[in-house]
Amino acid sequence: MSDVYQALVAKRSDTGLSVGFEQLGADEIGDGDVEVAVEYSTLNYKDGLAISDAIPIVQAPSLILGIDMAGTVVSSQSDRFRVGDRVVLNGYGASETHNGGYTQRLRTRSEYLVPLPSRFTTKQAMIIGTAGYTAMLSIMRLESLGIMPESGEVLVTGASGGVGTVAIMLLATMGYRVTASTGRLQETDFLKSLGATAVIDRNELSEPGEMMQEPRWAAAVDSCGSHTLANVLARMHYDGVVTACGLAQGLDLPGNMMPFALRNVALLGVDSVHAPMQRRQEAWERLAKTVDMEKLEALAVEIPFAQIPEAAGQILQGQIRGRAIVDIAGV
């Protein structure tokens, strides 16, 4: 294999952020005790934010973008991994403070890597990706406060996106009844094929609403924030639990105390970037036991490596359904 590798690199200067493809030498692909031949990566909402610089995700003068990657270890100085092991990286500062997955080769720290469960190929691991791993973390948080299938219906907002589609699939497979909220009602049949029992227009939740509303759901997985999250909280049943992991509508939360004080509603944050290794491994082990492989494959939309910058704008506009994956090995 060539000792020069293609990568998508971001460079920050006084004039802003520039993003472009570069050929990197073996000494430019990162620092750490494990080198990985990257096979697949993903395009997530956060990648779109990083590439567009809509939010200053990139915090280093120069780094390889991409918050996800899956591949095979080609060199290791770590006791945790051997040559030939398949690994996955989600977050841990990739594309923020150190190099990420949009590269044919990546050198990184072993403590950032999770052994890939044997059930998954590297492609399937990236169909799951950060979005699916975050969806499982969200479900684990719901379970931690006693939400089970018999608790009642679960709402999933941003249902056509990465977290939303995987969350619907996982919840339905686990026996939950799921309502999907989406701005793309033309995807109703698709969302029901993943397991949603009902689909509602996101406009029901995205505008300013009353402080307390008719209770409707036992729990929710929210990736939108802003008025959507405030309205979701206002519609929870007593002892309802809401997980919040995204900001597709906005960073703000224009809510009030009434759902918490009068209905005992719980709002739980879900962080996928810095989650401890034990929790990451548990999430991936749960995914290996839970994922419906046929439905998983139906989620995938493949983005050519060269088109990542263009597709980044599309994902921010909600124009990509499901999970966008990037074939790095085929570049």
DSSP 3-state of 222: strand
* pLDDT classification of 205: cutoffs 50, 70, 90: very high
- For residues 202-219, give the mean pLDDT: 97
As to burial, measured by CB atoms within 10 angstroms (0-12 exposed, 13-18 middle, 19+ buried), residue 262 is: exposed
pLDDT, tens digit (0-9, with 9 covering 90-100), for 87-141: 999 999 999 999 999 999 999 999 999 999 999 999 999 999 999 999 999 999 9
* pLDDT at residue number 257: 96
> Could you give the CA distance from residue 144 to residue 153 in angstroms, rounded to a whole number?
17
pLDDT, tens digit (0-9, with 9 covering 90-100), for 166-199: 999 999 999 999 999 999 999 999 999 999 999 9
pLDDT, tens digit (0-9, with 9 covering 90-100), for 281-299: 999 999 999 999 999 999 9
- 224 pLDDT higher than 80: yes
- 1 pLDDT higher than 70: no
Beta strand segments in 134-204, E: 154-156, 178-182, 198-201
H or E stretch covering 292? none
pLDDT, tens digit (0-9, with 9 covering 90-100), for 119-132: 999 999 999 999 99
* pLDDT classification of 244: cutoffs 50, 70, 90: very high
* pLDDT at residue number 2: 56
* pLDDT at residue number 322: 87
- For residues 70-79, give the mean pLDDT: 98
275 neighbors 282 (Cβ within 8 angstroms): no
User: Average pLDDT over the chain, rounded to whole?
Assistant: 96
pLDDT, tens digit (0-9, with 9 covering 90-100), for 6-56: 999 999 998 999 999 999 999 999 999 999 999 999 999 999 999 999 999
> Could you give the CA distance from residue 52 to residue 146 in angstroms, rounded to a whole number?
39
Percent helix / strand / coil, the chain, rounded to 5:
35, 30, 35
Q: In this structure, what DSSP letter does residue 64 have? A: E
> Could you give the CA distance from residue 80 to residue 111 in angstroms, rounded to a whole number?
9
* pLDDT at residue number 268: 98
Quote the pTM value. Answer: 0.92
Q: Domains, the chain, ranges and CATH?
A: 4-116+292-327 (3.90.180.10), 131-269 (3.40.50.720)
Q: Measuring CA to CA, which residue among 69, 72, 80 is closest to residue 7?
A: 69
* pLDDT at residue number 297: 92
Q: Measuring CA to CA, which residue among 16, 42, 49 is closest to residue 126?
A: 42
DSSP 3-state of 194: helix
Specify the amino acid at residue 208: P
Distances 296 to 42, 45, 121, 193, 300 between C-alpha atoms, Å = 14, 19, 12, 11, 7
- For residues 147-152, give the mean pLDDT: 98
Q: Measuring CA to CA, which residue among 38, 42, 9, 31 is closest to residue 110?
A: 31
